[in-house]
Amino acid sequence: MFQKVKLVLCGWAVLALSLPINAQKTGSALKPVEKVARKGSELVIPYEKYVLPNGLTLVVHEDHSDPIVHVDVTYHVGSAREEVGKSGFAHFFEHMMFQGSDHVADEEHFKIVTNAGGTLNGSTNKDRTNYYETIPSNQLETALWLEADRMGFLLDVVTQKKFEIQRSTVKNERGQNYDNRPYGLVGETTARTLYPYGHPYSWLTIGYIEDLNRVNVDDLKNFFLRWYGPNNATVTVGGDVNPKDVVKMVEKYFGSIPRGPEVKNRKLAAVTLPQDRYVSYEDNVRFPLLQMVFPTVPNRHPDEAPLDCLAEILGGGKNSILYKNLIKEQKAVQADASHPASELAGEFTLRVLPFPGQTLADMEKMVRASLQEFEKTGVTDDAITRFKAKYESDIINSLESVAGKVSQLAANQTYTGSPNYLPTDYKVHMAVTKADVMRVYNQYIKNKHAVILSVVPKGQAQAVAKPDNFKPTTDGYKAPADQYAGLKYVKPKDNFDRSQRPGAGKNPVVTVPPFYRDNLPNGIKIIGTENKEVPMVTLLFSMQGGHKLSAKDPSRAGIASLMAAMLNESTEKYTAEDINSQLEKLGSSISVSGGTEAINVTVESQVKNLDATLALLEERLLRPRFDPVDFERLKKQRLEAIANQATQPTVIADNVYNKLLYGEGNILAVPAIGTAATVNTITLEDIKNFYRENFSPSVTNLVIVGDIKQQDIKPKLAFLEKWTAKPVTMPVLPPMPSGDKSKIYLVDKEKAAQSEIRIGYLALPYDATGEYYKSGLMNYILGGNFNSRINLNLREAKGYTYGARSGFSGTELVGPFTAQAGVRANVSDSAVVEFLKEIKTFRSEGIHDDELAFLKSSVGQRDALKYETPYQKAVFLNNIIKYNLDADFVKKQNEILQNITKEEINTLAKKNLPLEKMNIMLVGDKALIKPGLEKLGYEVVELDTEGNQVKQTATPTAPVTPATPAPAEKNKKAPAKPRKSMPEIRTS
């Protein structure tokens, strides 16, 4: 069989060689079955594709722009391959794959990659599981050795103890990301209502607790044997590599792994609903939620792109119908539409969070009226243009990093059999017409039935849109044939010693991006660098002061953030809708945000549209309208967001912790968003005055990163010289409290499944080469990486948490040292004991020789990963200009790192880990956790959700170490989102 690829994309030719798809070894290496090369500026990712005799697919992308490599191993198995009653296997096994293999000890996978200066993780979704590393290019062979070892040599080291630890970790993850999170069960409730019983998408990737409790270690081993064969995997390598070298390494390490059982792609009949299905549940939320989900089509179906466009028109931004009818009219805090599509099905989703005073029944009527309005108004040419421009920019942005390009190649190969699906996908989206959008609306939405979910605050069951009319049933379900009988574990046979870890090649030469500086007459300081990898330009403006300026009038705290929000609205020349429409047609973005120390303006534009984007930036920066209607709406939204924070344990913990650190009367003790009392006092005239007095070029830094030279962009920024400078005085903040002794502070969050822990004190101001930097090195071993003492104890050994960490976070003035985690409620006291034990032990006993070597190796090789993307470059340059750093500060940091001694580390630990003066704060269920905390020997002070003291309880003086409960599991990122995920439910 031959495979031929020849595509023409908007005049860009994409050429591929025609070669036998089953080409095998010629001499000592495989020959490519497919090659794709870029000509000029084509929107294509060059690669070579190989297929090993055991069925493993290898895709190699060569890119020498940075001395890094990204390795991705994708297995075509996700939760959709699981069985009824055994949900969560795919994700559970992702955890197990980090627990060692025959030639890699427990926790060594993380340690080896981190020691090499790399990062790693894994993710699981409905349809695939992937594992990946980004590493300096000299560490490629090590990454491939690690991945091959767990593909071919895993099961003998899967022990019952590891199994139990990871089972507990998955439960912690479920608690943190689903059960204890506002609206966390929306997806699970929707899935079991939308899909018939037994459908592969009728449960979530995380699985059900009862299934996790039921599973045994042999079930998990069978899952591996069935789905983790090389013939169900794609290895994708991209970056600073030679394809011939990659092929030899992959042949060596993966070639002897036996094929697994055959895996076939599936197609399922489209889901249809005989009637609208109303379901509901109560949650610990302030805003009720209405969600309508219509079943649609899978990924890469011809109707997917027009449905995506329909979602943008209905609820994709300030020009959408839902925004106009619900948000603009102050009926809803949030209203959006999306069309996440997976391999077997898609879900067209409409979602609304109403303002208090509006019912979910009202929201349903308004959403349905908005759909009828769309039927009458139809699709405009502008809407199609906006959709296509946004899609193009999103695609270009996704290719900024080698990881982004590798992920694209890996996903396309896994789902389509060709890595080169990007041009096809692009072409399909660029071909969408108005008629296509109306056709899919009529086919999938108009007069069709949906799942209509109501999420209501606890105790308000009567507030649902309509009473529930559906319960899942097993009617029509037929169990599939057993796929797990007779599976055998056969280890590879090699002619080399796999226990010998590959040596690293020569360390790559890492250069800090060359940059230029400039100053405008009105005081703007400019720093920039040319970046030719993608045809984009990023500008980052930073106006110093931000929330700190509220110290001049604390009664109006939150004004900087609210003023920044107003700058995203109407200008003298354009309405907010007009300016957003123009930006979307350009594929550009301009966003203004208010932070603690600065007001930031971020601009992204394709080079070809930069002039038009900067013209809109001039409007937004220099000619805001400050419309009273916009102000009223934003202020109302802000007050609701502040009230909503009382439902979120993590936000409560951060806010109360800051109040403990900075003390009453310090503006830094007040959230940047403000409080209900302070925001209520802010008037529109206050906003105008704040803009006139503080929004000034005299305190503005500008970072420029993009595919444009300094001499070419400078004339385009001439409009900034029209910006009149004014003196801005930074307020002097009151002295920070030093703390006399450690106390436990407890905020009651009734019935919380988890407790949020914060332990720390006000430590050090930022400096790049002094005590702050060195203390960061000291903390790296304590709580600054996955293999840190804190995380290995609380997550891996004890199973209390999904992840625990510590760190210094300095600013120009001062910043805290914080150790933190979200832990199971029933181990809250034990978790505090373990945190304190690790800090005390590190302070008293210091760092070990092997830990010092690990620190120097890991941090010393990370530079290769620091400056790859435009955003990374912008952050790097922003720090240089913000803190007035020397051009060679990175070199100085490396010298400090390589010369730092155990004695210096230990001295820093003794000085900067003052355990006797740290605040110990918990947000959790008082009734459950207070008795254990009172046994620890500290004074326990009860606070409300705003940090005000409720009452104080004396406690025993002799600390008692609680018994250690049973274990749980590992820290990794949350599962990767689908290619098009639903918008996040914004709750603050």
What DSSP string describes 898-933? Answer: HH--HHHHHHHHHHH--GGG-EEEEEE-HHHHHHHH
944 and 767 Cβ atoms separated by less than 8 Å:
no
Helix/strand/coil for 331 = coil
Distance CA 971, CA 784 (A): 12
Q: Which of left, alpha, beta for 239 (phi over 0: left; psi -120 to 50: alpha)?
A: left
pLDDT at site 951: 66
pLDDT score at 155: 95
**pLDDT higher than threshold 90 for residue 982:** no
SS3 track for 820-878: EEEEEHHHHHHHHHHHHHHHHHHHHHCCCHHHHHHHHHHHHHHHHHCCCCHHHHHHHHH
Cα(30)–Cα(243) distance, integer angstroms: 11
Token pair of 358, please? 């509006």
Side chain identity, residue 517: R
Place of tokens 């920070």: 736
Residue 74 CB coordination number (10 Å):
26
Instruction: Report the DSSP beta bridge partners of residue 591.
Output: 602
Mean residue pLDDT of the chain comes to 91
In whole angstroms, give the CA distance from residue 657 to residue 663: 10
Q: Report phi then psi at 112, rounded to 5.
A: -65, -45
Question: Is the pLDDT confidence value at 973 over 50?
Answer: no
Q: What is the 3-state secondary structure (H, E, C) of 244-284?
A: HHHHHHHHHHHCCCCCCCCCCCCCCCCCCCCCCEEEEEEEC
**For residues 319 and 580, is the Cβ–Cβ distance under 8 A?**
yes
3-state secondary structure of 440: helix
Distance between CA atoms of residues 968 and 95, nearest Å: 11
Which two tokens mark 345?
A: 């099905």
Amino acid at the residue 606: Q
Residue whose entry in the numeric block shows the structure tokens 């955890």: 95
Report residue 958's pLDDT band, with 50, 70 and 90 as the boundaries.
Answer: very low
Helix axes 160-174, 89-96, angle to 10 degrees: 120
Q: How many other C-beta atoms are found inside a 10 Å radius of the C-beta of residue 362?
A: 16
Strand partners, 206: none
pLDDT tens for each residue of 416-447: 999 999 999 999 999 999 999 999 999 999 99
Residue type, 375: E
Q: Are 96 and 434 in contact (CB under 8 A)?
A: no
d(CA 608, CA 487): 57
- pLDDT tens-place string over residues 97-111: 999 999 999 989 999
Residue 890, classed as helix, strand or coil, is: helix
Six-digit token pair at 217?
Answer: 């270690």
* Phi, psi angles (nearest 5°) of residue 820: -150, 160
- Tell me the HSE value of 539 on the side-chain side, using a 13 A CA sphere: 28
The reported pLDDT for the residue numbered 510 is: 75
Structure confidence at residue 966 (pLDDT):
33
Secondary structure of residue 144 in the 3-state scheme: helix
Q: What is the set of domains in the chain, with CATH numbers?
A: 1-44 (no CATH), 47-254 (3.30.830.10), 277-401+413-463 (3.30.830.10), 516-650+663-722 (3.30.830.10), 743-953 (3.30.830.10)
pLDDT computed for residue 970 by the predictor = 37
Of the candidate ranges 58-67, 172-181, 391-400, the one whose mean pLDDT is the lowest: 172-181
| pLDDT band at 4; cut points 50, 70, 90 | very low
Nearest to 383 by CA among 331, 332, 434: 434
In tens, the pLDDT along 185-235 reads 999 999 999 999 999 999 999 999 999 898 899 999 999 999 999 999 999
**For the chain, what percent of residues have pLDDT higher than 90?**
83
Contact predicate 336/310, CB 8 Å = no
Distance (Å, whole) CA 799 – CA 531: 44
| Contact call for residues 288 and 353 (beta carbons, < 8 A) | yes
Instruction: Name the pairing type of β-strands 233-239 and 57-62.
Output: parallel
Whether 663 has a pLDDT exceeding 70, the answer reads yes
**Total length of the chain:** 988
Task: Pick the closest to residue 969 from 149, 20, 107, 274 (CA basis).
Answer: 107
Q: What is the pLDDT of residue 979?
A: 42
Q: For 568-595, write each residue's pLDDT tens digit.
A: 999 999 999 999 999 999 999 999 999 9
Ramachandran quadrant class, 969 (left: phi over 0; alpha: psi -120 to 50; beta: rest)? beta
pLDDT: is 986 or 238 the higher one? 238
For residue range 753-774, what is the model confidence (pLDDT) as tens digits? 899 999 999 999 999 999 999 9
Give this prediction's pTM.
0.89
- C-alpha to C-alpha distances, 643 to 351, 485, 676, 860, nearest whole angstrom: 21, 55, 7, 45
Instruction: Please check whether residue 61 is in contact with residue 45, taking contact to mean a CB–CB distance below 8 angstroms.
Output: yes
12, pLDDT greater than 80: no
**Over pLDDT 70: what percentage of the chain?**
93
Question: Are the beta carbons of 930 and 940 closer than 8 angstroms?
Answer: yes
Q: At what angle do helices 381-398 and 304-315 cross, to 10 degrees?
A: 110
Contact call for residues 612 and 306 (beta carbons, < 8 A) = no
N-terminal to C-terminal alpha carbon distance within the chain: 56
CA–centroid distance for 127 within its chain: 19
**Is the pLDDT assigned to residue 255 strictly greater than 90?**
yes
Residue 863's Cα: distance from chain center in Å? 22
| Three-state SS at 168 | helix
Q: What phi, psi does 129 have (nearest 5°)?
A: -125, 135
pLDDT digits (tens, 9 = 90+) for 474-527: 988 998 899 999 999 999 999 999 999 998 877 777 778 899 999 999 999 999
Half-sphere exposure of 800 toward its Cβ, with a 13 Å CA cutoff?
A: 30
Mean pLDDT for the stretch of residues 374-380:
96
Residue 844, CA atoms < 13 Å, CB-side half-sphere: 8
Q: Is the per-residue pLDDT at 176 higher than 90? A: no
Quote helix, strand, coil % in the chain, to nearest 5: 40, 20, 40
Distances (CA, A) of 805 to 598, 634, 649, 969: 27, 35, 18, 14
Q: What does each C-alpha distance from 884 to 518, 723, 815, 877, 889 come to in angstroms?
A: 13, 23, 18, 10, 10
The DSSP bridge pattern shows strands 57-62 and 47-51 to be: antiparallel
Kindly list the distances between the CA atom of residue 732 and the CA atoms of 163, 185, 601, 696, 810, in Å, as whole numbers in the listed order.
55, 46, 25, 19, 17
pLDDT-based confidence at 983, cuts 50/70/90? low
Contact 243, 62 (CB under 8 A): yes
Lowest pLDDT segment from 60-69, 128-137, 970-979: 970-979
pLDDT at residue 42, as a whole number: 79
pLDDT value of position 981 = 60
d(CA 878, CA 885): 10
Residue 193: name the closest of 111, 294, 96 by CA: 294
Using alpha carbons only, what angle is made at residue 857 by residues 856 and 859, rounded to the nearest 5 degrees?
70
Token pair of 932, please? 């254990």
